[in-house]
Amino acid sequence: MNRVSEFLVGLLFGLGLLLSGMTDPGKVLSFLDLFGAWDPSLAFVMGGAIAVGLFAFALAKKRSTAFLGGAMQLPTSKDIDRRLVLGGVTFGVGWGLAGFCPGPGLVSLAAGQPKAAVFVAAMVAGMLVFELAEQQRQRRAVAA
């Protein structure tokens, strides 16, 4: 039952990305072009997502288990450190260059967009580089 629910929620999320235009790199890049042909429509999509997120997290904080019975695991760290800032900058640069972020990139890949295939390949390569760097960082911490 959990896998079916996960699939349906993912499908709903993907359809929302398609309908909102988040899978169109041109629309995303127009949103980011503040001093050119700026298209503010994605601000409403983001505002709606933030509103839903605020409500969902407020509800989640009051629960000890997820709706499907699993343990509720919410982030606890509130630290803004170098790694968080660098990750945010890397995400923003990638989003600005490609017009995709991970969710819309995967939806666009499934829809057969060639540019999305390049983006997803680069995203996977970046995740592998991160994992290798993390392993080395942990080895150095243990050795010190």
By C-alpha distance, which of 68, 116, 72 is closest to 94? 116
Q: What is the pLDDT of residues 50-92, one digit of tens each?
A: 999 999 999 998 888 888 888 888 888 889 999 899 989 988 8
Looking at the DSSP bridge assignments, the partners of residue 27 are none
By C-alpha distance, which of 97, 105, 104 is closest to 124? 105
What pTM value is reported for the model?
A: 0.76
Render each residue's pLDDT in the chain as its tens digit; 144 residues: 778 988 998 899 889 888 888 888 988 889 888 888 889 988 888 899 899 999 999 999 888 888 888 888 888 888 999 989 998 998 889 888 899 989 999 999 998 999 999 999 999 999 999 999 999 999 999 987
Domain that holds residue 11: 2-143
> How many structural domains compose the chain?
1
Euclidean distance between CA atoms 66 and 26, whole angstroms: 37
Cβ atoms of 25 and 98 closer than 8 Å: yes
